[in-house]
Amino acid sequence: MSSATHPTRRPTVPAAEEILGGYFPVLDHGFVALVDYMGTDDSVERAARVSYGYGTRKVSRTRGLVRYLRRHLHTTPSEMVEFKFHCAMPMFVARQWIRHRTASVNEYSGRYSLMPLLFYSPGADQFSLQSATSNQGRAPGSVSPEFYREAMRRWDDVRARAADDYGWLVGENVARELARIDLPLSTYTQWYWKIDLHNLLHFLTLRVDDHAQWEIQEYGRVMAGMVKRVAPLSYEAWVDYQVMGDRLSGAEIAALSRLVEADAKGVAALGGAGLSNAELAGLGLSGREIREFKAKLRPREVPDYELDLAAMRDPEDVAAEMLEAVPAVDQ
């Protein structure tokens, strides 16, 4: 029976329906597609008001409740909304991604299927030296064009040999689970990833952060744009409280309390002059904590996670590209 004759009774959002099943490119060969979702901002409200019943609500009331729940970290109502994604990413990104153990995952099997020989190559603007201050980050700035070209030449040599060896092994009918073992971490894998809204927003809070590896930030930004279309009120509250906001330690609150005084009616007002590093240290903050505290107080730009609909691809085109990258062997 057609859906036109029997329309769905599940809650839907026109903005989400517009992108459902569309594939958004990430990096050079990756993608994210929202293949299904269950629930909307209204679902969060219904779950929160389960003890009181549910009637017709004004959007302003729903917005106020959603923001209250996120502000005070009442997270279980947002677990009632779920997202299912189809994603393709380099293996080294997948290994970071899978650390978030709050999702259901089914990954492409290199034991069962032939691997598409697609490899990630960072652009020159993302190719940097090791950071001198962070063991897991990149130094600001890029290297010389000559250095970048030499690095790419070496990577291309390794990948061409790995692809050739893989094609030869599977062509000789070596077990696929063995033939794949020397493919590099730049090889693309893919999976279906299903997660609820609360845990998705926790994932995104960490992965769109400037301290996260740039490649996984790119995936986070696209997925955040999808959340914006499914649950715009929850998205707005997340950006306000988690992305633009920050946590304060007891010592940091003590420092701010010296700068902001409350009058007899509890109205906040600016107090005296700023605190020196020595005064901040006297409150128990280490040198690194002082630097981080000052960074928290700097103005921030509101991020733009709007999706580029012109970039959305049909699933058939994406599937054909993946199939074309599979080595041609006699089955």
> What phi, psi does 158 have (nearest 5°)?
-65, -45
Pairwise CA distance, residues 89 & 30, whole Å: 5
Residues, the chain, total? 331
Q: Residue 16 corresponds to which amino acid?
A: A
Between CA 256 and CA 172 the distance in angstroms is 69
Among 192, 194, 199, residue whose Cα is nearest residue 234: 199
Measure the CA angle with vertex 228, ends 314 and 8; round to 5°: 65
Which H/E stretch holds residue 83?
Answer: strand 82-90
- Of 274, 271, 319, residue with least CA distance to 33: 319
Strand partners, 87: 32, 191
Range list of H helices, 132-213: 145-171, 176-179, 197-207
* Catalytic-residue membership of 176: no
Residue for token pair 């080595």:
327
How far is 88 from 78, CA to CA, in rounded Å?
26
Q: Which of 63, 207, 221, 229 is catalytic?
A: 207
| Tokens encoding 20 | 């459902």
How many C-beta atoms lie closer than 10 Å to residue 252's C-beta? 21
Look at residue 118 and give its three-state secondary structure. coil
Non-local CB neighbours of 162 within 8 Å, separated by 6+ positions: 182, 183, 184
Cβ distance 54 to 61 under 8 Å? no
Amino acid at 81: V
Under DSSP, the state recorded for 240 is I
Give the residue numbers marked as catalytic.
207
